[in-house]
Each structure stands twice: as structure tokens, then as C-alpha cells.
Amino acid sequence: MNKKKQLNIAIVGLGNIGSYLYQYLLKNRERLRKKTNVLLNVSHVCAKNIKKKRLFVISKNKWLRNPLEVSTKNNIDIVVELIGGSDGIAKRIVFSALKNKKHVVTANKALIAKHGDQLAKIAEKNNVNLEFEAAVCGGLPIVRSIKEGLIANNVSKVKGIFNGTSNYILSSMDKDNITFKESLNKAKRLGYAESNPKSDINGEDVASKLKILTSLAFNTYINNDIHVEGISQVDQEDIINANNLGYKIKLLGISESENNKITQRVHPSLIKNNHFLSSIDGVQNVVIVNGNPVGQSVLQGEGAGPRATTSALVSDISSIARGNIKYPFSISDIERKKLKPNSIKEKSFSAYIRLDVIDKHGVLSNITSFFSRNKVSIKRLIQNPFKSKKNSSIVIITHSSKETNLNKTISQLSKKKYIIKKPKLIRIED
């Protein structure tokens, strides 16, 4: 149990999440005191715009004009960093706070994914906590589940849907029969996508989260060797084709350990309609962990937004209040491993391949010859004529084939004059 009867908290960043957290901690002081035996007091706040109109009042004596002050003030016990970004002021605050023996709670996945190893060393050296539950799928307690709830397990695989924005876009394209652009604009209107949703769409957000989960699950240092693809190339025709074939398209993050090597990959995947993951729609996140002896564990819920993120932040703050001083990545730095990466090129997949072609004699036989030559076996082939009847779309489902052979086939076909559009390849995930 924490010896202190009160812990002073500084919140740096008062956007939607910081504002919601501030109000939550004030309204639930007594409730949290009963659960932690500690009074959690928001003693200081810091934001870019002090004069911004807010729906609540903050007394003048709580404001800090210089955010770096939170790391040096003696009366601050916990620094909650909600600025974001892997570098800049957020990095300086967190590094300085840990060095000055203050606990840090953050929702900053980019920071942890890039500097987590260094930060963990500093936290361990100074016997303080670095907590980042809110950095990965906010509403799902996946970080604490892996660190504590699944501590008995030898984890072999982690996979799931880690980004609500991309999942909403793909779900909306499917259910509403609209284009990628229309679905993205709809997500922006509803507040599910930022004005600049680049990191959500190109897979970078999922990649950051996956790197963190990989480190936790396999007791490794953060590994930057990761294959990343986004969803911007998925169009309506792919969605329709997937439905006709009995699949849904989802952006997955997958990490698995084989022979002391780690494979990390982020890419759209075809999921069978009867698989649990295919039913995860909208802004929902889900994480599946395969371990021994537990088997398969599943966590599902909203991954982002003020409510879900606050739930994770308060969980971390409460853990500190209860006196749970622990290693940021579950084990001490000296015990963490450097596992070699295993390239996605070494793996085999069944795949969905779409070729938009000039519809003329000999094209189909020429295409299949490339597949045969590269040892890619065709399981199913469908030819869909365009309305013009001059062109058609050829959809191929392959048997499990080497990634290198699949890519070689696509590369060779893309150079042929009868191919009128860049070929599509989407892996099929069992």
C-alpha cells in the first residue's frame, strides 16, 4: 500500500481527453479514494492555450505556463502526458519527469513505440512507474492483461483490430455501399477520424501499438522491423468481391513468435464470415492473445475517445496509488531479449488477387501461366466483365504460397500491357 495519503497529479495537455480526465478525477475523488486508500489530487495543469473557452473552471493557481515545470516541481507525484507525438516537448517532459523520480502515465503510443526502451531503463533506475495502458486500444485493458493477468502464459501470437478509424471506414464501405473517400468523410463528420487521418489510414497507428504489444508479449526490446500496409488501396469492388466469396476485409495487426524469431505485420486481410473478427464493426477494437496454458484470450471494446482513454488512464493512476511499482515492460531491462526479426517474405499465405485487364483472347491463359511458373497454385478464379465489355476484372484466390512467389507473380503481371490497373493483393488470414 502506498504510504502517501495524497498524490498530486499534473495533467499536461487539455484537449478532449485531458479535459475529460480532469473532470473525471474531480468528480470521482471520493470513489477513487475508497478504492485506492489515497486521495488523488489534480494539483497542476498545463495546456497550449490557457485562454481557450472550456466547459469547466480551473483555478489560476493550478496553471503552469511552462510544461517542463511538471518534471521539477517537488509537490508533483504523477505526470500525465497527453500532448502526443514521438518527439518534441512530449519527449522532453517524460524523460525529465522520470529522471526526477516522478511517475509517468501517458497515452502516447508514438513515444512509447520509439523511445520506450530508453524510458523503461530510466523508470527502473529511479524506481518509478512508466504506465501506458491508454497507448494501446484505450478501452481494452490489454497492457495490464499481458503484464499481469496472463503472466503465467508463454505467448505465441497476438493479433487483432487495433484502430477504430480504419475499422469504421471498412465497415461503412461494406454496410453503406459507399466509396473509400465517402466513408472517410463520414468518419470525419462523426468525429471518428481526425482532419489528418494519415497514421490511421496508412497503418502507422496500428504499427506503433503492435510494436508495444510485441515487446510486452514476448519479453523483447521494441523491434522496428515490421511490415506495414494501410487501407487506402481497398475499394468498393474489393469489398463486394470479398462478400461474394464469403469474407470481410479488416486491417489487422499480427505478431507471432516462431523459432525464437518475431514476425510483425500490419495489412488488410480477408477474414471468413464465420470468424469472430469479421463481426467487429465500427470503432470497436479487439485483441486476441494465444498463450500456453490459457489457450486463446479475447478482449473487445472501444479503443479510442475520451471515455475509453480516461478509463485506461485512471487505471494506471490507481495502480500507482496502490503502490504497485513495477517494470514498464513486465520484466527488468536486463532480462529483456533481442529476438531476431523474421521477414514476412519467409511466410506463406493464401491470397486474394485482383487483376483488371483488357478482355481479349489469350489473356487468361497468359495470366495463369505466370502463376504456374512461380509455383502459386490457384484455388478459385472468377472473371467479372466490365459494363463496357472491353475490359474485365479477374479475381483469383490462391492456395497457401510463399510471400516471395506471390509478390514475384504480381510484379511480373504488372508489366504486361493487358493489365490496365495496378494489381491488388490482399492476404487471407485464417
Does the pTM exceed 0.75? yes
How far apart CA 164 and CA 275 sit, in angstroms, is 19
Q: Which of 147, 209, 248, 424 is catalytic?
A: 209
Beta bridge partners of 158: 255, 289
DSSP annotation of 146: I
Let me know if residue 394 belongs to a domain.
Answer: yes
In this prediction, residues 56-74 reach a mean pLDDT of: 90
CA atoms of 260 and 170, how far apart (whole Å): 34
On average, the pLDDT of the chain sits at: 93
Q: What is the pLDDT of residues 252-292, one digit of tens each?
A: 999 999 888 999 999 999 999 999 999 999 999 999 999 99
pLDDT at 129: 97
Is 258 a domain residue? yes
**Percent above pLDDT 70 for the chain:** 99
Query: Is 314 inside a domain boundary?
Result: no
Both 268 and 368 in a single domain?
no
Beta strands at 424-428 and 261-272: parallel, antiparallel or unpaired: parallel
Helix axes 403-414, 363-373, angle to 10 degrees: 150
By residue range, what is the domain housing residue 418? Answer: 347-428
DSSP 86-97: SSHHHHHHHHHH
Domain-terminating residue out of 301, 327, 362: 301
In sequence order, what are the residues at sequence separation of 6 or more whose Cβ sits closer than 8 angstroms to the Cβ of residue 190? Answer: none
Identify each DSSP E strand in 75-174 by its residue range: 78-81, 103-106, 130-131, 154-161
The answer on pLDDT for 430 being more than 90 is no
**Alpha-carbon span 229 to 99, nearest angstrom:** 37
The CATH number linked to 360 is 3.30.70.260
Amino acid letter for position 379: K
Domains contained in the chain, number: 2
Beta carbons within 10 angstroms of residue 403's beta carbon: 19
The helix-helix angle for 236-245 and 164-175 (nearest 10°) equals 70
CA distance 301 to 424: 31
Q: How far apart are CA 162 and CA 167, in angstroms?
A: 9
Q: Is the pLDDT of residue 171 over 90?
A: yes
Sequence-separated (6 or more) residues with CB below 8 Å from residue 189: none
- Residue in the block written with cell 475509453: 308
CB within 8 Å of 4: residues ≥ 6 apart: 38, 77
Percent of the chain with pLDDT over 90: 85
- How many Cβ atoms from other residues are within 10 Å of residue 429's Cβ? 20
pLDDT exceeds 90 at position 108: yes
Residues in the chain: 430
Of the candidates 268, 286, 301, which is a domain's last residue? 301
Report if residue 15 sits inside a domain.
Answer: no
pLDDT for the residue 359: 87
State pLDDT tens for residues 76-96.
Answer: 999 999 999 999 999 999 999
250 is catalytic: no
pLDDT tens string 377-427:
999 999 988 877 789 999 999 999 999 999 999 999 999 999 999 999 999
pLDDT tens-place string over residues 112-169: 999 999 999 999 999 999 999 999 998 899 999 999 999 999 999 999 999 999 999 9
pLDDT at residue 3, rounded to an integer: 59
Say if 291 falls within a structural domain: yes
86 domain-assigned: no
pLDDT-derived band at 1, boundaries 50, 70, 90: very low
Average pLDDT estimate for 33-50: 93
Residue 191 has pLDDT above 90, yes or no: no
